[in-house]
Chains A and B, each alone.
Chain A
Amino acid sequence: MFSDANLTAILLTAKLASIVTILLLLISTPIAWWLARTHCRAKVAIEALVAMPIVLPPSVIGFYLLVAMGPEGPVGQLTQALGLGTLPFTFSGLVIASIFYSLPFVVQPIQLAFENISEHYLEAAATLGASPLDRFLTIALPLALPGFLTGGILGFAHTVGEFGVVLMIGGNIPDVTRVVSVQIYDYVEALEYDQAWELSAIMIAFSFVTLLLLYLFNPNKRKLA
């Protein structure tokens, strides 16, 4: 039913969003835990930093990342020294850029879930002989599970929906960086409206189902989305 080009773009988008979501869940957990439990004064500054992608135009993030990861940038120099070449216009570069861009959408729900865990449960676990790691794994993680679901779904959906950062960092290489949103842009540029209609309809259906799932899991936390 899809053209080969559309199918390629859809699969690439799904692959990108899946990898980014898994990495984001791993990265966000310690950040969210620290933010939820710390009394450190730097907390507010870190929170603001994590939330920046929500307000910044994607092109700004894309621009800075492009410069940093380019041949003259610090990240680019490092990757070249390691024999990895440069990251812009590669799938790996796209993954890294997406992680920055979607970070707040995963950190914030997990942080909120951690903050909602009463200190009593953790203290009770401590008096029952559970070490800090034990308490985290057996009490904090299971109690924060809804936050992880919300964060995962939001991170996935947000990565699927991004356009500006992809265009800046990834360009438009079929099967490497040409995701659905870029593909749609191409169709419109080329006045191939039939194809654009098809992909856009899929995106609309995807977004609706995603949000539906989100609200089913988390009936009380709609404001997060």
Chain B
Amino acid sequence: MSKSGIETRFYLEHPGFTLDVDLSIPAQGVTALFGPSGSGKSTILRCMAGLEKAQGKFMFNGDVWQDDNTFTPPHQRPIAYVFQESALFPHMSVMANLNYAFKRRKQSNTDFPLDKTIALLGIEHLLDRKPAKLSGGEKQRVAIARSLAVNPKLLLMDEPLAALDVARKREFLPFLEKLHDTLKMPVIYVSHSPTEVARLADHIVLLKEGQVEASGALNHTLSRLDLSSQLDEQASVIIEARIEQLQSEWHLAEAEFDGGKMWVRDMNFVIGSQVRLQVLARDVSLTLSPDEDSSIANTIEAIIEEVGAGDHPAILLVRLKVGANYLLCRLTSRSFHHLGVSVGDDVWAQIKSAAIIE
């Protein structure tokens, strides 16, 4: 058995709900537990923290936190937990909340000295305030700073954006992305929002009714047809790319990835920076030759890897392999048959647009 990684097996019965999961998650990067409400994602997180006791086992990098004979109580686990509702202590100032965590930190080496954490989350101006005087977004920033101040080995986040409105979410996501780039510790992130998952996750666990439907690297898992067909119009893939050149005249940037390149909107990129592209299946179409006259600027050579049913009898989902990446294409069965192609054939994928999500 490998020493590195997170191994879990949880079994729990509540009235009307059974959780039965067996998971291996890499002990690095952000893993999203994704699924509709009632799928058991928050319960898994609570079991990992020891806040809820399921039968089974939980191992973190070779340390047993739970098995048939052991159960480490939450305060002895080297974790931090960010709740949906920030759960800041109302009788303490922001600074006192941070100090409460820092005094009880779980590793003596301080990867997160308080001043660095405060600066990272931009909460310098809030330190003297009581939680009741903070906005929702500010509360969650303080809650995340507090969770980092305990210097955990594993960070658990339970829909930290759920309590925020759309505008606050937009304002808040950059902070999480900055964390994603800064943190060395693994993060397990519960969410039911495809946008958040696409922006933040490296690894995804899809949950349904207390069971694991799929678990794997984000781009590979999202391109699986059996899962994507459930997402209807929202079926998409994520591609990690690098900005290679800029065309300032047209405000465009060229993003290169394993298997091709495409032009995207220039969001004041610097050449060489890493970006995440989200390509919706409905924005991809297929042709047999690179069409020079089309208004669609991005045409990429691809291989048809799999064809599956879409969310409607008229619709097919096609999985395309592009270098080490995948694309999904959503089209009508009629169009597909007119092309006369099948699995294994080379085609050209035309991409109408790609969203830049990082």
| Chain A residues in the interface with B (C-beta under 8 A) | 118, 120-121, 123-132, 134-135, 138-139, 142-143
Nearest residue in A to B91 (C-beta to C-beta)?
A: A142
A123 close to B89 (CB less than 8 A): no
What number of residue pairs across chains A and B have CB atoms under 8 A from each other? 63
Chain A min CB distance to B51 (Å) = 5
* 9-residue interface stretch from B63-71, B74-82, B169-177, B267-275: B74-82
Interface centre among B75, B76, B80 (most CB of A within 10 A): B75
- What residues on A are CB-neighbors of B73 within 8 Å? 126
Chain A min CB distance to B259 (Å) = 42
Chain B min CB distance to A133 (Å) = 10
CA distance A128 to B106 in the complex (A): 8
Nearest residue in A to B105 (C-beta to C-beta)?
A: A129
A143 close to B91 (CB less than 8 A): yes
| Chain B residues in the interface with A (C-beta under 8 A) | 49, 51, 73-77, 79-81, 83, 85, 87-91, 100-101, 104-106, 146-147, 150, 156
A124 close to B81 (CB less than 8 A): yes
A120 close to B83 (CB less than 8 A): yes
A130 close to B87 (CB less than 8 A): no
CA distance A123 to B79 in the complex (A): 12
B87 close to A124 (CB less than 8 A): yes
Q: 21 A-B Cβ contacts within 8 A?
A: A121-B89, A123-B83, A123-B87, A124-B81, A124-B83, A126-B74, A127-B49, A127-B77, A127-B80, A128-B75, A128-B101, A129-B75, A129-B76, A129-B101, A130-B100, A130-B104, A134-B104, A135-B75, A142-B91, A143-B90, A143-B91
A130 close to B81 (CB less than 8 A): no
Interface centre among A126, A130, A134 (most CB of B within 10 A): A126
Candidates B74, B100, B105; contact of A138 at CB < 8 Å? B100
A124 close to B150 (CB less than 8 A): no
Interface centre among B49, B80, B100 (most CB of A within 10 A): B100
Nearest residue in B to A131 (C-beta to C-beta)?
A: B75
- What residues on A are CB-neighbors of B77 within 8 Å? 127
- What residues on B are CB-neighbors of A118 within 8 Å? 87
Nearest residue in A to B103 (C-beta to C-beta)?
A: A129
B51 close to A126 (CB less than 8 A): yes
Chain A min CB distance to B98 (Å) = 10
- What residues on A are CB-neighbors of B146 within 8 Å? 128
